[in-house]
Chains A and B, each alone.
Chain A
Amino acid sequence: MSGDSAALRIEGVHKSFGKLEVLKGIDLSVSEHEVICLIGASGSGKSTLLRCVDLLEPIDKGRIVIHGEEVTSHGVDVNRVRRHIGIVFQSFNLFPHMAVLRNITLGPTEALKLSKGEAEARALELLERFGLAEKKDDYPDRLSGGQQQRVAIIRSLAMQPDILLLDEVTSALDPELVSGVLDLIRELARGGMTMVIATHEMGFARDIANRVCFLDEGVILEEGPPEQIFSSPLQPRTQQFLQSIIEAGRM
């Protein structure tokens, strides 16, 4: 659309909660098929940025442009915009009163107006592909955290989004369940999915990201290819952050 090659452009985005300014002017451009990892301490604004992109939080200043369309301008149908953006949350947020299959078909049937048959075929294909087909009739609380998170990712994928936002999707998981979820995300990256991933898994970020952004107190302090950010970060704050991660044995 309109010659803008970026899948997502974030321009000068500010966001405050009351007196607390969480985002202090974020600029970021994401190309089609690119995988961006957002790293940074808790409270640095990673989650808020993702929620702003999905229009779950109104921004105070700046613009968010998706495929050339400014989605933060007045009068934009937010429901239509959200249908093309997937977001997966740290705490899964599956619907506990619905079986796995219904969790996945709800969006396609109600927001995309697919028939029940089409939506179920799409859901079953995804469940099959990610090895969860036999769980289709289970309720979320019967699944492990890792399975729940994989279902949550599938729920987003069933909407066939242009961009997928992942908000610390492994942070609430037991360590032994993390790899299953990360493998799924790696497969999506290989398939060319455009993704913005907030994560504390530095090894994973190094593997998967085309570009890593270090957020610090509401700004992107440093960004670059993972080799550069992880091996020779320029900013002292980035060096500090990575040092603390290494000391915590998370890398």
Chain B
Amino acid sequence: MLTAVVSTIVVFTVIGWTIARSPHWPDVKALFFSGEVFRDTFPEIAEKFLRNIQYFMIAEVFILAWALLLAVMRSLPGPVFFPLRLMSIAYTDLFRGIPTVLVVYLLAFGVPSLDLPGIPKGAAFWGVVGLILSYSAYVAEVYRAGIESVHPSQVAAARSLGLSRWQSLRFVVIPQAVRRVIPPLLNDFVGLQKDTALIAFVVAVPEAFKMAQIEKETLFNFTPLLAAALLFLVITIPMTRLVDWLVSRERRRRQAGGAL
């Protein structure tokens, strides 16, 4: 433990000292790590970051529901449900195959320009819809892995009690599936939280990234972008740690479970 602390301090001191001594460091510092610019711009970027959080929360609710529906559609057995399975497969192939930024662009610029009556025209609205459509494809695959990991004997037990196929899914399969995939689900949450920045490309009303870009243009300084990056890290690092903790807890529990 002590060795680790000492060696860590030594290594980082040497790195830090080397960087600070390099002839170009003052330029780098002024352009990227200006304390003054940071103080001036951070509050406003932080305020806009609330929008990112809002986009994230709204999108997440819809993603969780829509993706579950897709996964259930895909897991339905028998020839009758073939069209539903096909639709679900086509959907996930399509939206996992297209860059999220492209989906966001296409919807946020494309749909409002159609000028359809009764359809919202907000770019942010359609940007969020783009995130929902794109991420649902990933999350559906996560759910599907969970559903497939529930042993068929669980379904046999449920059906043998006279439960219908749908009841077995609802009471026995889905609850177990969702518990098992919470860590990978959270991983996708981290990705989504970051990708709310994509909405910067399509909106007039700025969120954190867009705000930082505006500040950068006016001040000719990159520090605002780093301020935005910092805000994302404040959210995503704790989420990543939570995932790690959940994964290791799950592993411990399974090992302790033995027969299970």
Q: Can you list the 10 inter-chain pairs with the closest CB atoms, starting with the nearest?
A: A107-B161, A83-B162, A111-B162, A93-B157, A82-B162, A87-B160, A93-B153, A79-B162, A97-B175, A110-B167
- A112: B residues at CB distance < 8 A: 162
* Of the residues B159, B175, B176, B259, contact of A82 by C-beta under 8 Å: B159
How distant is the Cα of A156 from the Cα of B159 in the complex, in angstroms? Answer: 12
How distant is the Cα of A82 from the Cα of B160 in the complex, in angstroms? Answer: 6
Could you write out 9 A-B pairs with CB less than 8 Å apart? A56-B159, A79-B163, A94-B157, A107-B163, A110-B167, A111-B162, A111-B167, A156-B161, A159-B161
| Given A96-B176, A110-B171, A79-B164 contact (CB < 8 Å) | yes
Q: How many residues of A contact B (CB 8 A)?
A: 28
A140 → chain B closest CB, angstroms: 9
How distant is the Cα of A147 from the Cα of B108 in the complex, in angstroms? Answer: 59
Q: Are B157 and A80 in contact, with the CB atoms below 8 A?
A: no
Q: Are B163 and A110 in contact, with the CB atoms below 8 A?
A: yes
Per the 8 Å Cβ criterion, residues 153-202 of B in contact with A are 153-154, 156-164, 167, 171-172, 175-176, 179
B23 proximal to A (CB < 8 A)? no
A217 → chain B closest CB, angstroms: 24
B80 → chain A closest CB, angstroms: 15
Per the 8 Å Cβ criterion, residues 17-47 of B in contact with A are none
Q: Are B153 and A155 in contact, with the CB atoms below 8 A?
A: no
A65 → chain B closest CB, angstroms: 19
> What is the interface of chain B, defined by CB distance below 8 A to chain A?
153-154, 156-164, 167, 171-172, 175-176, 179, 257, 259-260
> What is the interface of chain A, defined by CB distance below 8 A to chain B?
51, 54, 56, 78-80, 82-83, 85-87, 89, 91, 93-97, 106-107, 110-112, 141, 145, 155-156, 159
> B153's closest neighbor in chain A, by CB?
A93
* Known A93-B154, A95-B157; further 15 A-B contacts with Cβ < 8 A: A79-B164, A83-B161, A83-B162, A86-B160, A89-B153, A89-B157, A91-B153, A93-B157, A95-B158, A95-B171, A95-B172, A110-B171, A111-B167, A141-B260, A155-B161
How distant is the Cα of A93 from the Cα of B215 in the complex, in angstroms? Answer: 61
- B257: A residues at CB distance < 8 A: 141
Which applies to chain B's interface (DSSP): helix, strand, loop or mixed? helix
> B167's closest neighbor in chain A, by CB?
A110
A48 → chain B closest CB, angstroms: 13
Q: Are B160 and A56 in contact, with the CB atoms below 8 A?
A: yes
- B164: A residues at CB distance < 8 A: 79
B180 → chain A closest CB, angstroms: 10
Q: Are B162 and A159 in contact, with the CB atoms below 8 A?
A: yes
> B157's closest neighbor in chain A, by CB?
A93
B255 → chain A closest CB, angstroms: 12
| Given A83-B162, A110-B163, A111-B163, A95-B156 contact (CB < 8 Å) | no
How distant is the Cα of A119 from the Cα of B162 in the complex, in angstroms? Answer: 15
| Given A107-B163, A110-B163, A110-B171, A97-B153 contact (CB < 8 Å) | no
* Of the residues A80, A82, A91, A145, contact of B161 by C-beta under 8 Å: A82
- A96: B residues at CB distance < 8 A: 176, 260
- B167: A residues at CB distance < 8 A: 110-111
How distant is the Cα of A94 from the Cα of B260 in the complex, in angstroms? Answer: 11
Q: Are B171 and A106 in contact, with the CB atoms below 8 A?
A: yes
A195 → chain B closest CB, angstroms: 15
Q: Are B161 and A111 in contact, with the CB atoms below 8 A?
A: yes
How distant is the Cα of A94 from the Cα of B171 in the complex, in angstroms? Answer: 13
How distant is the Cα of A96 from the Cα of B254 in the complex, in angstroms? Answer: 12
| Given A56-B156, A89-B157, A141-B257, A97-B179 contact (CB < 8 Å) | yes
B251 → chain A closest CB, angstroms: 15
How distant is the Cα of A97 from the Cα of B161 in the complex, in angstroms? Answer: 17
